[in-house]
Structure 1
Amino acid sequence: MKQQLLALVALTLGLINNGAAQSQSPDIRDLPVIRNGSLLLLNNKPWKAVGANVYWLGLGENVLPSPGEPYYPPFHASYPTPGRTSQIMSVITAMGGTTIRSHTLGVSVGNPLSLWPSPNQTNPDAFQPIDWAVYRARVYGLRLMVPLVDNFDYYHGGKYTFLRWAGFNLSRSADERNPQVQEFYNNSKVVNLFKAYIETLLTHQNAYTNLTYAEDPTIFAIETGNELCGPVWGDMDVPTEWVRDIGRFVKELAPGKLFVDGTYGVNRTHFAAKEVDIFSNHYYPVSTAKLQRDLETLASVDKPYFAGEYGWLGNAATADASLPAWYRQIERDPKVMGDTFWSLFGHNVPECNTFVEHNDGFTMQYGNPAHAAQIKIVRQHFVKMSQGLSISADAELPPVACPAPTSLTEVTPLNV
């Protein structure tokens, strides 16, 4: 299977290069997203990051793999198939999106299928699905935001994994309020382990593109982590010096990447961290009042704002949680660089006869009639953000083939 995929990639990259040579114009997929004050630019034009959280692209937990494929039963962990990943790229494109935020493209520690099953021990097999996801995003013209660690203790690992590796016997279920969790930020052994992991990730050369993750502009942003905080949930107790230290380290390895503060909330003390390019927050449920407070907090800083997660179902019972109203507020404020809803799942590829399910209540499934009305609202917003506020999306949702196309000639990349 891997040899067939590599052959397909060689053909695809050949088509890309031939097309670029014939047009004598740069392939926008080779250009980085850059920050100019509070705006993001791509090819010297304003660019917005809108799309979905697809947390499982590097390592999943919702699908029982085929017999003989890698599987870790205690965490229900398995690698997503190339077909599942390709279909999700097709869905994002159909929705008018530009971006995917994906935890497991960067967070993968502590179980046998992880990038780092144990400290400083790299599992080369774990790079296969990540390589494929980065490559397929590049084919479709999508960009990726990659968190480096998780505040929680889920199947893909996170800050508690690094703490345990350094000798702190902690878990989130028992020790969330234990002051020792701050050793993730303050203990030199933990920090050095974390940096070594970051280096392993960013210096890896993708088998499909021959680019390291640091080099590939498809990964446009690196985020410190997902919903980081201290011993008290939502306290934003993430030391500024740690943010600066990790930011410096990432930019030394990958100077073309934008750096995102992954604290759960906008921490004013982090305004002193010049390494931070983007500030963010999450919304459960969406709230125009909360968004306004965040934007007012950021008014003194010439940097963009990103709504990294939000519940796409909204809450019709309260006007403040109206998804269309929240979108309108985002659309009219140029400081908001974009948003990615939580969270997107596709079909059981290649059978394509059912949807993959997840149990958190926020699972969007494109093609599911029960989700169609809300998906149209989301798609209208994506089109306005990515193509211009005067542009309206078609009334009907475009069909997405399952299985998804596998050759470049069958794919219509964005903005290429």
Structure 2
Amino acid sequence: MKSQFFSLALASLFGSHAIAQSQLTDIRDLRVVRNGSVLMLDNKPWKAVGANVYWLGLDENVTPPPGSPYYAPLHASYPSPGRITQIMSIINAMGGTMIRSHTLGVSVGNPLSLWPSPNQTNPEAFTPIDWAVYQARVYGLRLMVPLVDNFDYYHGGKYTFLRWAGFNLSRSGDERNPQVQEFYNNPKVVDLFKRYIESLLTHRNPYTNLTYAEDPTIFAIETGNELCGPVWGDMDVPTEWVRDIGRFVKGLAPGKLFVDGTYGVNRTHFGVEEVDIFSNHYYPVSTTKLQRDLEALASVDKPYFAGEYGWLGNAATADASLPAWYREIERNPKVMGDTFWSLFGHNVPDCNTFVEHNDGFTMQYGNPAHAAQIRIIRQHFVKMSQDLSISADAELPQVPCPAPTSLTP
């Protein structure tokens, strides 16, 4: 059952108009598949280019109207349906094909989460996720969904599961504690994590009547975000754990691609058959680091994905560094795509105020201060996707606010 908050928000934003599902085209029912190191859609090569929009399922940046669900200690709230839809319209305007979104999969440990506590599902938390998956489908976009976070943020992560299993750990004080490896090694923790995955993937979306496992809109499932061991960046994610989670995910959702979410390219994972995609993150962008990753993967017939990178580059030289970074990506067919960090729009239904985030990488489409970088990113997306219907050199398209919730073919 839809939450009263979300239902009222939809009614307020879009009136009583029904959302036309008949306008979905056939290609949206097709799966993205892997052919060696190339991704294919409708028997054609397909590139995954877009943005990280981590807040689509659960937000930390907006204080909602009085009476709306809100968990003040962690500043957690559900994003409005208008904010979600506008992001889909923005990605379309930028020539993107997909979104990577943490909180479509990582949502544990606070009262607004999918799992506020072990084995306890919060149906209300599925409401914005259902809407996001549906709106991505309407706009012809695909989604990559991480399952857990290496950190201890408002949306939860591996430390949440560790605490649920009796390990009194937090990233703020225990990051280097060898016990953090119990997330991967402890049977109780692994079983709890698998049950959470199952509750997520078997959920049926009322907008599409598809489970998340069935819906090709979600094209890829990622083990997690920037996973490592007790030492930051050590890539100490056990091979057997990656294999075990991969088999479990593929058993539930055999049509999904499986992404190794280790923070870095771990060569010991090359033999894991279930892994379809390897990835890394870049702060700042570095062609040297990218070349090193691609050299490591040269012996593996699987694609590579630049899952996060700072769109500011080296700040003062952003316009110089981004084109060089993109040229390196565009010239290597093994790179299946990239998603910059991170995208925001207006605080819909307030169409005059941009949402701000505090990490210094807030990209706001429509903000004149970001227009130069957005043009560079858009040109790159169009080159990668080879969408001949888009003129990359044209003026940036206007994105309406509120954005339409259905599209005319």
TM-score by length of 2: 0.95
- Residues 297 and 356 from structure 1, CA distance in 2 versus in 1: closer, same or farther, beyond 3 angstroms? same
Which residue in 2 is equivalent to 1:322? 321
* Corresponding residue SS for 2:354: coil
Q: What is the 5 A alignment of 1:290-329?
A: 290-315=289-314, 322-329=321-328
Give the CA deviation at 1:272: 1.2
Which residue in 1 is equivalent to 2:71? 72
2 CA distance for matches of 1:355 and 1:405? Answer: 19
Give the CA deviation at 1:320: 12
1 CA distance for matches of 2:407 and 2:321? Answer: 39
Give the CA deviation at 1:8: 7.5
Give the CA deviation at 1:260: 0.0
State the superposition RMSD in angstroms: 2.0
Code of the residue aligned with 1:138 in structure 2: it is R
For the 8 Å contact 2:106–2:147, the answer to whether it is kept is yes
- Determine whether 1:159 maps to 2:158: yes
Which residue in 1 is equivalent to 2:278? 279
Give the CA deviation at 1:172: 0.1
Code of the residue aligned with 1:361 in structure 2: it is G
2 CA distance for matches of 1:353 and 1:258? Answer: 38
Quick one: percent identity of the two aligned structures? Answer: 86
2 CA distance for matches of 1:247 and 1:210? Answer: 25
1 CA distance for matches of 2:148 and 2:222? Answer: 8
Give the CA deviation at 1:390: 12
2 CA distance for matches of 1:49 and 1:9? Answer: 32
2 CA distance for matches of 1:328 and 1:95? Answer: 18
- Residues 9 and 286 from structure 1, CA distance in 2 versus in 1: closer, same or farther, beyond 3 angstroms? farther
Code of the residue aligned with 1:280 in structure 2: it is S
For the 8 Å contact 2:50–2:96, the answer to whether it is kept is yes
2 CA distance for matches of 1:89 and 1:328? Answer: 26
- Stretches of structure 1 that go unaligned for 5 or more consecutive residues are 21-26
2 CA distance for matches of 1:11 and 1:109? Answer: 30
Which residue in 2 is equivalent to 1:23? none
- Determine whether 1:2 maps to 2:1: no
Output one character per residue of 1:203-245: Cα deviation in whole Å (capped at 9) or x when no partner.
0000110000000000000000000000000000000000000
Which residue in 2 is equivalent to 1:202? 201
2 CA distance for matches of 1:317 and 1:14? Answer: 48
Output one character per residue of 1:132-174: Cα deviation in whole Å (capped at 9) or x when no partner.
0000000000000000000000000000000000000000000
For the 8 Å contact 1:288–1:321, the answer to whether it is kept is no
- Residues 288 and 389 from structure 1, CA distance in 2 versus in 1: closer, same or farther, beyond 3 angstroms? farther
1 CA distance for matches of 2:23 and 2:362? Answer: 35
For the 8 Å contact 1:61–1:155, the answer to whether it is kept is yes
- Determine whether 1:135 maps to 2:134: yes
Which residue in 1 is equivalent to 2:120? 121
- Residues 15 and 383 from structure 1, CA distance in 2 versus in 1: closer, same or farther, beyond 3 angstroms? closer
Which residue in 2 is equivalent to 1:335? 334
Give the CA deviation at 1:389: 9.8
Q: What is the 5 A alignment of 1:13-412?
A: 13-16=21-24, 27-315=26-314, 322-387=321-386, 393-409=392-408
Deviates more, 1:243-252 or 1:350-359: 350-359
Output one character per residue of 1:33-69: Cα deviation in whole Å (capped at 9) or x when no partner.
0000000000000000000000000000000111111
For the 8 Å contact 1:379–1:393, the answer to whether it is kept is yes
For the 8 Å contact 2:309–2:341, the answer to whether it is kept is yes
Give the CA deviation at 1:317: 5.7
- Residues 12 and 378 from structure 1, CA distance in 2 versus in 1: closer, same or farther, beyond 3 angstroms? same
* Corresponding residue SS for 1:272: coil
For the 8 Å contact 2:319–2:373, the answer to whether it is kept is no
Alignment length, in residue pairs?
Answer: 401
For the 8 Å contact 2:146–2:225, the answer to whether it is kept is yes
For the 8 Å contact 1:289–1:320, the answer to whether it is kept is no
Which residue in 2 is equivalent to 1:24? none
* Corresponding residue SS for 2:205: coil
For the 8 Å contact 2:95–2:378, the answer to whether it is kept is yes
For the 8 Å contact 1:70–1:78, the answer to whether it is kept is yes
Code of the residue aligned with 1:83 in structure 2: it is G
For the 8 Å contact 1:384–1:391, the answer to whether it is kept is no
For the 8 Å contact 1:288–1:320, the answer to whether it is kept is no
1 CA distance for matches of 2:77 and 2:63? Answer: 7
Give the CA deviation at 1:14: 2.9
* Corresponding residue SS for 1:154: coil
1 CA distance for matches of 2:161 and 2:318? Answer: 42
2 CA distance for matches of 1:333 and 1:367? Answer: 31
Output one character per residue of 1:70-93: Cα deviation in whole Å (capped at 9) or x when no partner.
000000000001000000000000
- Residues 148 and 8 from structure 1, CA distance in 2 versus in 1: closer, same or farther, beyond 3 angstroms? farther
2 CA distance for matches of 1:356 and 1:176? Answer: 31
- Residues 390 and 403 from structure 1, CA distance in 2 versus in 1: closer, same or farther, beyond 3 angstroms? closer
Code of the residue aligned with 1:14 in structure 2: it is S
Give the CA deviation at 1:319: 9.7
* Corresponding residue SS for 1:196: helix
Code of the residue aligned with 2:333 in structure 1: it is P
2 CA distance for matches of 1:197 and 1:348? Answer: 31
Output one character per residue of 1:281-332: Cα deviation in whole Å (capped at 9) or x when no partner.
0000000000000000000000000000000011266799811001001001
- Residues 113 and 39 from structure 1, CA distance in 2 versus in 1: closer, same or farther, beyond 3 angstroms? same
Code of the residue aligned with 1:12 in structure 2: it is A
2 CA distance for matches of 1:166 and 1:107? Answer: 18
2 CA distance for matches of 1:320 and 1:391? Answer: 22
For the 8 Å contact 2:104–2:145, the answer to whether it is kept is yes
- Residues 295 and 271 from structure 1, CA distance in 2 versus in 1: closer, same or farther, beyond 3 angstroms? same
For the 8 Å contact 1:57–1:129, the answer to whether it is kept is yes
Give the CA deviation at 1:351: 1.7
Code of the residue aligned with 2:20 in structure 1: it is T
For the 8 Å contact 2:311–2:318, the answer to whether it is kept is no
- Residues 93 and 374 from structure 1, CA distance in 2 versus in 1: closer, same or farther, beyond 3 angstroms? same
Code of the residue aligned with 1:121 in structure 2: it is Q
